[in-house]
């Protein structure tokens, strides 16, 4: 699925589009809708900071396992790259506070859900895992003193240290609750993304 918005080309994969439609249709609590809104705000945070640094966005590709923002060639320092990496979570935290104030002022339940959703999304993306913004920022920070190869290896170790307890806790939660597989799914999803990216990088090196 392709469309253009604000002179930016968007590519939405069919599996992701189908999954979004199904989830939005069956979710009566509006939680999925709020999560989708905050996901969009998250990406807008990245775009806004890239624009502030003078970078033009060519396209944004959204798939089940990845969101890729392609920009024109623009020289960014490591500190600027870190700012771009963290801008999505910063946008979510700002919006979480804004939604919370709105909820406290007008007592509209959907703003409470939006606030909680934004905060959860920010915390999730700040995890020091290779496939998330927090991992990307940590990688860039290490590259100030270490080579790309060493920084990548250290990040892989840190990702494993974070994901292993998440997986174990997810299994325990599923066994105890009999139905709550969210944490286990999340840890497996993140692990899957890391493995897919590693496979892509390996193929790129081989070609």
DSSP letters for 30-54:
SHHHHHHHHHHHHHHHHHHHHHHTT
What Å distances lie between residue 160 and 20, 21, 85, 193, CA to CA?
Answer: 29, 33, 21, 13
Answer whether residue 2 shows pLDDT above 90.
no
Q: Is the pTM of this model over 0.85?
A: yes
pLDDT tens figures, 83-121: 999 999 999 999 999 999 999 999 999 999 999 999 999
Instruction: Tell me what percent of the chain is helix, strand and coil, each rounded to the nearest 5.
Output: 70, 10, 20
pLDDT of residue 205: 55
Structure confidence at residue 23 (pLDDT):
83
Round the average pLDDT of the chain to a whole number and report it: 90
Both tokens of residue 86?
Answer: 């963290």
List C-alpha distances in Å: 142 to 75, 123, 182: 19, 21, 31
**Mean pLDDT for the stretch of residues 185-202:** 82
């Amino acid at each position: 699925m392709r469309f253009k918005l604000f002179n930016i080309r968007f590519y939405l994969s069919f599996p992701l589009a189908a999954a979004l439609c199904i989830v939005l249709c069956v979710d009566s609590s509006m939680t999925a809708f709020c999560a989708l809104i905050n996901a969009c705000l998250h990406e807008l945070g990245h775009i806004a900071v890239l624009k502030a640094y003078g970078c033009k966005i060519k396209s944004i590709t959204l798939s089940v396992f990845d969101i890729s923002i392609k920009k024109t060639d623009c020289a960014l320092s490591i500190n600027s790259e870190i700012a771009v990496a963290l801008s999505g979570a910063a946008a979510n935290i700002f919006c979480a506070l804004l939604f919370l104030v709105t909820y406290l002022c007008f007592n509209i339940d959907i703003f409470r859900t939006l606030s909680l959703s934004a905060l959860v999304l920010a915390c999730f993306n700040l995890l020091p895992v290779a496939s998330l913004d927090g991992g990307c920022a940590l990688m860039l920070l290490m590259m100030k003193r270490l080579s790309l190869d060493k920084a990548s290896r250290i990040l892989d170790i840190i990702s494993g240290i974070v994901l292993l307890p998440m997986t174990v806790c997810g299994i325990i939660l599923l066994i105890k609750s009999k139905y709550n597989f969210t944490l286990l799914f999340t840890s497996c999803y993140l692990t899957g993304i890391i493995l897919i990216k590693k496979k892509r990088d390996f193929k790129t090196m081989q070609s």
